[in-house]
Amino acid sequence: MSGIYIHIPFCKQACHYCDFHFSTSLKKKTELVEALCRELVLRKDEIKGTIETIYFGGGTPSLLTREELDQIFKTIFEHYTVAEPVEVTLEANPDDLTEEKIKQLSDSSINRLSIGIQSFFEEDLKLMNRAHNAAEAEECLTLATRYFDNISLDLIYGIPGLSNKRWQQNIEKALSFGIPHISSYALTVEPKTALDSFIKKGIVPPIDEELAEQHFHTLIDTLTRKGFVHYELSNFGKEGYFSKNNTAYWQGKPYLGIGPSAHSFDGTTRSWNLRNNSLYIKSIEKNELPSETETLTKADRYNEYVMTGLRTMWGVSVNRVEKEFGVKYKEYLLKQVQKYLEEHLLYLDGDSLLVTKKGKFLSDGISSDLFFLNL
Ligand code: SF4
């Protein structure tokens, strides 16, 4: 099983917290779509086997026109073996989702929408500089549910000024649309973002980590009560609606990343395209791949497995660690986890190492302590 990720590096405006690669000038959109198609052709032999997921991320993929999407699909279907059915996700922002646009998307090969709602409250959206307003957040969901059954929405918690009460209201509002999948992330302050500078200047209060942790637990309690499975730290889905794309990624399956800044993985080698639209286009026009490559060491692969495994409900299989990485790694893992088992932050269920409810908010910190260094 393999997947294709396509990065659409354009946004209408820059959200204050974002450090992804995008440009707010759409001037090169046509040229970039040409280059994406050319990269798809150049790299068609890199992926062995059938494509089971296609994911348009960004940036803002809902800025693509119907013609641009058709051009990309035509290239994929001509040059790759695509599974039937294939999961095709498009990330979309509420301000792009008019009824006409949603209808167009539903008439294309897209069968899953991931909508960047983030909050249903005006003050949060303004603080984060999102391009949509609260009314658009609600309207687009009412419309999207008429045309799509497989919808995910994103919510952000830990926003300065977001009280527990308003956070609970955000979750309840999201649930009221009957959406089968919710992804939710803590607001993080990335270096050199506008949010980072506002906090340093005292314009925006710093993130209250304790409050963010309370939001996280409210989220888990509310969604699991409503029948969602907490299958990955930031992801909740009803049975049958887990993201196939993300699950494949967490399970270490190969994927091809197309577009500026996109990452690829073939099972042992990771590569990434440069983060610059003009240079990307120029390079692809010369049939040169604008990417760097690194071969993962055994320790890198073990560290990635531990980090992603602990984030999921499937956990880290101790037997798999021994089989794939050797007895030395297994012994190291069991030694390192000891204190977390005693502190009830981790537990063993048969062969699987899992985080407890108490450990969930700390899981990234715990996994870095289990990493194998200096090999
Ligand atoms: S829309 Fe998404 S990618 Fe674009 S600036 Fe906002 S968070 Fe970043």
Residue nearest to atom 3 of ligand 1 (CA): 59
Tell me, using a 6 A CB cutoff, whether residue 58 lines ligand 1: yes
Q: What is the pLDDT of residue 374?
A: 60
For residues 15-41, give the mean pLDDT: 97
Tell me, using a 6 A CB cutoff, whether residue 329 lines ligand 1: no
Which atom from ligand 1 is nearest to the alpha carbon of 11? Answer: 4
Choose the residue to mutate in 6, 21, 60, 127 for probing ligand 1, maximizing ligand atoms within 8 Å of C-beta: 60
The Cβ-side half-sphere exposure at 187, using a 13 Å CA radius, reads 30
For residues 33-61, give the mean pLDDT: 96
For residues 145-166, give the mean pLDDT: 98
Query: pLDDT digits over 69-93, tens only?
Result: 999 999 999 999 999 999 999 999 9
Q: What is the phi/psi pair of residue 174, to 5°? A: -60, -45
Tell me, using a 6 A CB cutoff, whether residue 117 lines ligand 1: no
The answer to whether 271 touches 291, Cβ cutoff 8 Å, is yes
Tokens standing for 132? 């949509």
Question: Residue 166 — pLDDT band, cuts 50, 70, 90?
Answer: very high
Token pair 């409210």 in the structure block, residue:
218
User: Is residue 375 scored above 70 in pLDDT?
Assistant: no
For residues 34-57, give the mean pLDDT: 96
For residues 148-160, give the mean pLDDT: 98
Ligand 1 centre distance from Cα of residue 243 (Å):
20
Which atom from ligand 1 is nearest to the alpha carbon of 93? Answer: 1
Ligand 1 centre distance from Cα of residue 190 (Å):
13
Tell me, using a 6 A CB cutoff, whether residue 194 lines ligand 1: no
Ligand 1 centre distance from Cα of residue 187 (Å):
13
Tell me, using a 6 A CB cutoff, whether residue 237 lines ligand 1: no
Averaged pLDDT of the chain: 96
Whether pTM exceeds 0.85:
yes
Of the candidates 45, 43, 47, the one whose C-alpha atom is nearest the C-alpha of residue 1 is 47
Establish whether the linkage from the previous residue to 180 is cis, with ω within 30° of 0.
Answer: no
Query: pLDDT digits over 213-272, tens only?
Result: 999 999 999 999 999 999 999 999 999 999 999 999 988 899 999 999 999 999 889 999
Identity of the residue numbered 47: I
Query: pLDDT digits over 266-310, tens only?
Result: 988 999 999 999 999 999 999 999 999 999 999 999 999 999 999
Beta bridge partners, 151, equal: 113
Alpha helices in 187-276 (DSSP H): 194-200, 209-225, 244-250
User: Is residue 364 scored above 90 in pLDDT?
Assistant: no
Sort 42 into a burial class: Cβ within 10 Å, 0-12 / 13-18 / 19+: middle
Strand 291-295 and strand 346-349: the pairing is: unpaired
Of the candidates 240, 236, 219, 255, the one whose C-alpha atom is nearest the C-alpha of residue 53 is 255
Inter-helix orientation angle 99-107/134-147, to 10°: 40
Tokens standing for 273? 């395209």
Tokens standing for 212? 């963010």
Query: pLDDT digits over 184-222, tens only?
Result: 999 999 999 999 999 999 999 999 999 999 999 999 999
Token pair 């994929």 in the structure block, residue:
76
Q: In the chain, pLDDT over 70 holds for what percent of residues?
A: 99
Tell me, using a 6 A CB cutoff, whether residue 14 lines ligand 1: yes
Residue nearest to atom 8 of ligand 1 (CA): 18
Which atom from ligand 1 is nearest to the alpha carbon of 91? Answer: 2
